[in-house]
Amino acid sequence: MASLVRLARGRGHPLAAALWVSTARLLVGYLLTCAIGVLLGLALWRWDDLDRLFGPVFLGLQALPSVCWVPLAMLLPLLGASERGIIFVTVMGSTWAVAMALRDGLRALPTIYRRSGLMLGARGWKLYSHVLLPSSLPALVASLRLGFSFAWRSLMGAEILFKAVLPGLGFLLKSGQSDAAQIVGIMIVMVVVGMLADRWLFARVQARVQARFGLS
């Protein structure tokens, strides 16, 4: 098995190329997910009416398997079977999780931070930037970590189903066809990438935040 992975690496470096492509897509998709998810989460937390209207909808969307977004992506005129379509599926499969996790995390914040901030003269946007946002850091980091794993999963699913785009890891998985060794090998690569990113980046950042806050 390992030898076949090495083979895949040798043939004009398709593995390296695929890794490169997948990672690039992940970066773009994940950053979009973060931006949209954080804004949505903040909005749902801040405005009760929005939460009552959209909260259950987002919860449902979060539960939707990410591959279910593929047919829609293929249909929509701006997207179609292109890079944009893949990014779309990646984002749709993860942004709701980020939004809901952030909203719930913000809700759990003790109200005394806000009262202290007001008492000390923090008003308007300063209250947000100096009190509310920093106090929400543990919840934010946790939701972003969650969003990452969702995004990676969504991306891999999309890469398998999309045709006629640059070959990523998902494509290599599909192109293995009857070659079980290649299939399993690529799966191992996918798992390892997700694990490493989580361990080297997210776990570390989260540990530092928790240590600062005295939560660990």
Under the criterion CB under 8 A, does residue 208 sit at the interface with other proteins? no
- Count of positions on this chain that bind other proteins (CB under 8 A): 19
Under the criterion CB under 8 A, does residue 120 sit at the interface with other proteins? yes
116 or 195: CB nearest other proteins? 116
Q: At closest approach, how far in Å is the CB of 66 from other proteins?
A: 34
Under the criterion CB under 8 A, does residue 6 sit at the interface with other proteins? no
12 or 214: CB nearest other proteins? 214
Residue 94 phi, psi dihedral angles, 5° rounding: -135, -25
Which of 71, 99, 101 is CA-nearest to residue 85?
Answer: 71
Under the criterion CB under 8 A, does residue 112 sit at the interface with other proteins? yes
Q: At closest approach, how far in Å is the CB of 49 from other proteins?
A: 23
Q: Pick from 63, 119, 124, 177: which binds other proteins (CB under 8 A)?
A: 119
Under the criterion CB under 8 A, does residue 74 sit at the interface with other proteins? no
Amino acid at 147: G
Long-range pairs, 160-165, Cβ under 8 A, ≥24: 161/67, 161/70, 162/70, 162/81, 162/85, 162/86, 163/81, 164/81, 165/81, 165/82, 165/83, 165/85, 165/86
Under the criterion CB under 8 A, does residue 77 sit at the interface with other proteins? no
Q: Pick from 113, 175, 179, 184: which binds other proteins (CB under 8 A)?
A: 113
Segment holding 172, helix H or strand E: helix 169-175
Cβ atoms 123, 145 nearer than 8 A:
no
CA 17/CA 154 separation, integer angstroms: 20
Under the criterion CB under 8 A, does residue 109 sit at the interface with other proteins? no
Q: Which residue has 């991306």 as its token pair?
A: 155
User: Per-residue b/e over 94-130, b at no fewer than 16 CB within 10 Å?
Assistant: bbbbbbbbbbebbeebeeeeeeebeeeebeeeebbee
47 or 213: CB nearest other proteins? 213
Q: Which of residues 122-161 bind other proteins (CB under 8 A)?
A: 122, 126, 130-131, 134-135, 137
Footprint of other proteins on this chain (CB under 8 A)? Answer: 110, 112-113, 115-116, 118-122, 126, 130-131, 134-135, 137, 212-214
